[in-house]
Amino acid sequence: MNGTTEKIDVRPSALAGKVEQLLADGGRMQMAYAWFPQPDRVQVRYLASPGARQPFQLWCCDAVDATLPSLATQAPLLSWYEREIQDLYGLRFDGLPMPHPLVAGGWTEASPLVNAHGMQACLSAPGHVPGIHGSDVQLLSSGPVRAGVVESAQHLFFYVGEAILHYQPRLFFKHRGMERAFEGHDPRSGATLAERVSGIGSVAHALAYCQAVEDAAGCEVPKRAQQLRAVLAELERLYNHLYYFGHLADATTLKVGHAEGVLLAERVKQLNARLTGSRFLRNLVTPGGLRRDIELPRDFLHTMYLLREQTNSYLKQLERTTSYLDRLITTGVLSRQVAFDQGATGPVERASGLDRDLRRDHPYAAYAWHAPDVPLAEEGDAYARAKVRAAELRASFQLLDAFVPTLVDGPIRAECRPAPGVEGLGWAESPRGSLFYAVHVGADGKLARVKIKSPSFSNWRVFPFTVHRTNMMDFAINEASFGLSIAGCDR
């Protein structure tokens, strides 16, 4: 690993103290995952972020007798990671507040990754739906099959009239085992698989994966490739945020607003196809740089100017629509403390006043030379989340204006061949938030473990906290304001 990540061995008994000190110093936990350094040895890695411009820390802790202390009471965002590890690896976390299955909800074998290594599984408690009783309390189950092309998820509501007393999502109906799918592949070929984790985040996933491989290999990416990677990342942010506003307008019953937002997103995708041959910007980012060079047309910045004017006009029309504002303001409020504790990321956390962005705080690609403006809001409601994304759209246009005139000539790929037994960490600020890849290369030079920390995995955990004690009519608007991806969460 390079100087941007420190690897620290930690005893199980010292974990709680490490977390306490990290939080006291203003840091934050990011994720946890398990892997097998040896066939009969399970190790849990905790990714900690001490602060902006400070190296990430990877705490390495061996599980003694397949048991570790839970850290979820100190850092609640780790709860889902610990439950996922219980489901797939069979470890037990003592003191885990809700030890119920998360990924393995009764439809898959218990602890498949532990069983594959010939170890005995530790079964977690059965699934649980809280009992809420009262003369007028009703239970509504919606999904997992939903309307149109909406991804599979089940929503459980306990409600009285229109008031929601408790909400519980059930996800992972289409868990694809994407992390396991990387194993055995050549590290140089994994970007193609990373792009398929979540199609609408193809560039971000490929970028985070490739930077992890480059970290493992000690590879230095040519400057032109770094600049073009950032251009691709901002084009991806543009079409995602424009589609977001179209979807949000649809949720507030603005059919014309929906059509305009989707049309603007489509124009960016068509531009992507002309530039790269892929509407979703696939098959370009690869370990060491880019697969091929991209020649931007002479009128690229003029095209961006026209698109920016159309986007600004569209956003102003939304801001002048009273019915749109009425449905967003005070809907789905997420407090700053809950956003921090439960692990919100991206525009969701920034709309609740948390000032974090990997492009600025831990710069990569061309962001080391052109840091983005990071918009914030304090209200934490659906309107704040929309305002932050609108400001991010404008910031993306500004970044493209800065990137393109400074493009240098030169190579677009360097040799990137990780040695056996190395590991690396990569990250990207996707349109939905922070995205991390941890890569372990085995003794045979093939991928032995790949961990994906996806922003939607984080934000789906946060979302229910904004639903409790709201009303049924606002649920679809609140969900749309989060911009969640089920595929990105399920993996």
Residue 131 placed within a domain:
no
pLDDT of residue 122: 46
Same domain, 264 and 342: yes
Any domain includes 319: yes
Same domain (yes/no): 80, 185: no
pLDDT value for 109: 52
What mean pLDDT value characterizes the chain?
Answer: 90
Write out pLDDT tens, residues 279-331: 999 999 999 999 999 999 988 999 999 999 999 999 999 999 999 999 999 99
Per-residue pLDDT tens over the stretch 200-232? 999 999 999 999 999 999 999 999 999 999 999
Q: Is the dihedral of CA 30, 31, 37, 42 positive or negative?
A: positive
Q: Residue 472: count other Cβ atoms within 10 Å of its Cβ.
A: 15
Rounded CA-CA distance 471/332 in Å is 10
User: In this predicted model, what pLDDT tens digit does every residue of 133-189 receive, in sequence order?
Assistant: 777 888 888 878 877 777 888 888 888 988 888 888 888 888 888 999 999 999 999
**In a shared domain, residues 189 and 160:** no
Q: Is residue 127 part of a domain?
A: no
The reply to whether 156 and 246 lie within a common domain is no
Give the per-residue pLDDT at 64. Answer: 83
Tally of domains within the chain: 3
Q: Tokens at residue 171, please?
A: 């996800």
Give the residue from 170, 189, 210 where a domain finishes: 170
DSSP label of 126: P
Is 239 within a domain?
yes
Residue 232 sits in the same domain as residue 148: no
Which three-class secondary structure state does DSSP give residue 357? coil
Same domain, residue pair 260 and 302:
yes
Residue 107 has pLDDT above 90, yes or no: no
* Residues 98 and 240 placed together within one structural domain of the fold: no
We report the CATH number of the domain holding residue 105 as 3.30.460.80
Domain assignment of residue 122, yes or no? no
Judge if 58 and 143 occupy the same domain: no
**Does 3 score more than 70 pLDDT?**
no
**CB environment 319-356: b (16+ within 10 A), e (fewer):** eebeebeebbeebbbbeeebbbbbbbbbbbbbbbbbeb
- The answer on 426 and 305 residing in a single domain is yes
Distance CA 177, CA 112 (A): 11
Same domain membership, residue 239 and residue 142: no
Cα gap 372→361, rounded to integer Å:
10
Judge whether 126 lies within some domain.
Answer: no
Do 149 and 79 lie in one domain? The reply is: no
- Distances 210 to 7, 203, 241, 390 between C-alpha atoms, Å: 20, 10, 24, 29
Extract the tokens encoding 192: 């193609």
**Separation between Cα atoms, residue 271 and residue 276, nearest integer Å:** 9
Per-residue model confidence as pLDDT tens digits over 348-376? 999 999 999 999 999 999 999 999 999 99
Task: Identify the residue whose tokens are 């909400």.
Answer: 167
Residue 286's beta-bridge partner residues?
289
Alpha-carbon radius of gyration of the chain: 22
Which of 108-122, 386-400, 469-483 holds the top average pLDDT? 386-400
Residue 381 resides in a domain: yes
% of the chain surpassing 90 pLDDT: 73
Residue 238 has φ and ψ, to the nearest 5°, of -60, -55
Examine the domain organization and report whether 308 and 371 are in the same domain: yes
pLDDT at 415 over 60: yes
Domain of residue 247 covers 178-490
Greater pLDDT, 122 or 196: 196
Structural domain includes residue 125:
no
CATH number of the domain residue 207 falls in: 1.10.645.10
